[in-house]
Structure 1
Amino acid sequence: MSGADSQKRFDVTLVGESNIDLLLYGLPDDLPPERELLADRMAMHLGGSPAITAHNLVALGSRVGFVTASAGDTFADLCLRDLTTAGVDLSRAIRKDDGLSTGFTVLLQHSNFRRTLTYPGVTHSIRYCDLDLGYLRSARHFHLSSYFLQENLRPDIPRLLAELKEAGLTISFDPNDDPSGEWDSSIYEALAYVDILLPNEREACRIARVPQLDIALHNLAAIVPTVVVKRGAQGAVALTNGKRYTAIAAPVTPVDAVGAGDSFNAGFLHAYLKGEPIDRCLAFGNLAGAFSTTQAGGIAAFCNADERSRFFANHAVEAR
């Protein structure tokens, strides 16, 4: 870390949603209408891609500032409590009194896939005029998730990224899914300011509008200096400066994969900001993503510092 970087207040700042994830397990693959179907287990945790990333970055040792919207309801209190307990700075959280409640996602866990149902709530309320740019600039790096969910912020995202880039921050970007299925090409305006793109395989192909990962990887790397594609149990692949890197996934018996991609982001960025080479960043991201799957939801595993230390120590060979 350079002298200038060490004087920054945060390692990473983020903007976006903090929602509730409700997970239901043991449901049949077929969901017939007008039937009461029983799950055999449930869990409820902090959700939202940027919130999970922020929480787990702090757990790994990064200094994090997070600008999120709060509806002031009971679920908002739960989200803010979990983030504050972890050590995420929420001093610029935005209170919204526009009649919308905290966002809520119901994740139906089937045997080989999951269904995701989301009410965005105040996620849609975040606007460029709500943001304290000085606060966001007080970091070494800026991370943006959930591009397509940021309905009112999205038109100003290129402007926001340009200003942060001008201030000397590096920028990472996880697009997440597009609920509309349209994958609007306006995303390319934002990608022009991005240093690290962090999609999963499906997202990479949809953004590049090609069916093959290798073609998508090369096409996106022509726009973004470093493209990192998360492939779940198949590990991860990155392309930077014309060089391709791969990393295998750490072997685990998963509870679920909710938040695994966001946890990968946290691991990758934590290593990246420590100055690790890309192959080490990939390996550390894989470990963080795998560790996330050992408990329900995106943050539960990271709340146990002893288990976290033990897991990373036991799997250290896979991060070499």
Structure 2
Amino acid sequence: MPEIISLGEALVEIMRHEVGVGFDRPDFFVGPFPSGAPAIFADCAARLGARVGFIGTVGNDDFGKVILDRLEKDGVDLRYCYIDSHLTTGVAFVAYFEDGSRKFIYHIGNAASGVIEEERIKEDYFEGASFLHINGSALSMNEAWRKAIYRAVSVARERGVKISLDPNLRPEILGVDKVRDICRPVVEAASFVFPSGEEAMMLTGKVTPDEACRFLVESGVEYVVLKRGDKGSTVYVKGRSFEVPAFKVDEVDPTGAGDCFDAAFLVGMLRGFDLEKCARFANAVGALAVTRKGPMEGAPFFEDAMSFMERS
């Protein structure tokens, strides 16, 4: 049975080959790469040695096969990851620009990735699990996913499974107030929240990332870990906070780095690391994740991540 359960969208990512090329003219793409924030998280956690279960849906097509083959190869339990024969697998097209920004075109909510049934949230699947990881992108997808996630949170809490949340907010889809509202039931249940500075402020309505993270801790979240990109991370717990510096790497593709960071922090907790080592381990895994093209391709195995930490 899994130690960590992740649920949400599984999709493929197809990206512009060259930086600075938008979608407004013909040019080359590369891919498909397996993707989807909850799936990236699940794959990385499995590579780092955890027993991981993933709940999601793909289409009965080659894109779905790309995703399932990767997750299965890395040891993710897929018994509740279903294949829908009537819909195609979700797709994200991505363009990167010189200033670090990205542009996306999604086919997700109306694809197989948008399909979930509450009945797939089996109570016995949560027995013995340590963490249930929720991603804001899945909450934002549609009402069916929100209902399934809220049920999963309820089932997990009844069994003493700790909830972790990566807000991964999509205000351009639903608006800040709506996203804050749909995240609230998960935030209120969460032991871990892994926001960026902008997400922390959107989630709380506070005017600085520091104020927002402190507010979350004061509201009952056990651990708030602020992801600060090339500046590292800051861990907030009741009564204190501390910064952990980043690792220097050459960035190739930043997509998925935050999901890998989340996975590493929770795996560190499973392995009994202290908080500072959990954050340093997460920084290392997040750094390695950006060094290869493709959201899952840079996710390291445990030994490689530890070796990188020791060398750096």
SS in 1 for 2:88: coil
- Which of 106, 120, 124 aligns to 2:114? It is 124
Residue 15 of structure 1 contacts residue 66 of structure 1 at CA under 8 Å; is this kept in 2?
yes
Report what 2:264 is aligned to. Answer: 267
1:18 matched residue in structure 2: 10
For 1:111, the equivalent position in structure 2 comes to 98
Contact 2:255–2:295 under 8 Å retained in 1:
yes
C-alpha separation in 2, matches of 1:92 and 1:59: 19
Q: Give the alignment partner of residue 258 of structure 1, picking from 250, 255, 258.
A: 255
- Specify which of 235, 240, 249 is matched with residue 238 of structure 1: 235
Q: Does 1:176 align with 2:158?
A: no
Matches within 5 A, 1:166-205: 166-178=158-170, 179-182=173-176, 183-205=179-201
Tell me, yes or no, if structure 1 residue 301 matches structure 2 residue 289. Answer: no
Contact 2:59 2:88 in 1 (8 A): yes
2:292–2:298: 8 Å Cα contact kept in structure 1?
yes
Distance 1:129 1:273 in 2: 28
AA matched with 2:55: V
Task: Judge conservation of contact 1:27–1:38 (CA < 8 Å) in 2.
Answer: no
Q: Secondary structure at the match of 2:133?
A: strand
**Residue 60 (structure 1) shift:** 0.8
Q: Which one of 37, 41, 51 corresponds to residue 53 of structure 1? A: 41
Any residues of structure 2 matched to 1:281-296 within 5 Å, and which?
Answer: 281-296=278-293
Question: Percent identical across equivalent pairs?
Answer: 25
Q: Does the 8 A contact of 2:132 with 2:161 survive in 1?
A: yes
- Change in 2 beyond 3 A, CA 1:311/1:156: closer
String of CA shifts for 1:127-175, please: whole Å, max 9, x gaps.
Answer: 3223222113342221112222253121453343122111111111112
Paired letter, 2:175: G
Shift of 1:226: 1.1
Question: Residue by residue, what CA displacement relative to the aligned partner does 1:68-125 show, whole Å, maximum 9, x if unpaired?
Answer: 112222211111111001111111222334x432111111011121112211122322
Q: In 1, distance between residues paired with 2:59 and 2:278? A: 36
Q: Does 1:228 align with 2:215?
A: no
* CA displacement 1:43-65 (0-9 Å, x = unmatched): 43110011111111111111111
Between the aligned partners of 1:114 and 1:66, the Cα distance in structure 2 is 27
The 10-residue stretch of structure 1 (248-257 or 203-212) with the greater mean CA deviation from structure 2: 203-212
Aligned Cα RMSD in Å? 2.1
Q: 1:151 to 1:27 in 2, by over 3 A?
A: farther
User: Residues 130 and 156 (structure 1 numbering): CA distance in 2 closer, same or farther, change over 3 Å?
Assistant: closer
What's the TM-score, normalizing by structure 1? 0.87
Letter in 2 for 1:192: E
Corresponding residue SS for 1:139:
coil
Task: Structure 1 unaligned segments of length 5 or more: list them.
Answer: 1-8
**Matched residues in 2 for 1:37 and 1:276: separation?**
49
* Partner deviation per Cα, 1:196-240 (whole Å, 9 max, x = no partner): 011222211111122311111112222312111111111111211
Number of matched pairs? 302
Under a length normalisation based on structure 2, what TM-score does the superposition of the two structures give? 0.89
Q: Paired residue for 1:38?
A: 27
Provide the C-alpha distance between the structure 2 equivalents of 1:44 and 1:312, rounded to a whole number of angstroms. Answer: 29
Alpha-carbon separation, structure 1, partners of 2:59 and 2:124: 24
Q: Which of 281-290 and 20-29 deviates more?
A: 20-29
- d(CA) in 2 for partners of 1:246, 1:73: 45
Q: Tell me, in whole angstroms, the C-alpha distance in 2 between the residues paired with 1:176 and 1:130.
A: 23
Task: Tell me the SS of whatever aligns to 1:10.
Answer: coil
- The one-letter amino acid paired with 1:108 is A
Q: Which of 5, 11, 20 pairs up with 1:28?
A: 20
**Matched residue, 1:4:** none
Distance (whole Å) between structure 2 residues aligned to residue 61 and residue 311 of structure 1: 11
Q: Are 1:137 and 2:127 an aligned pair? A: yes
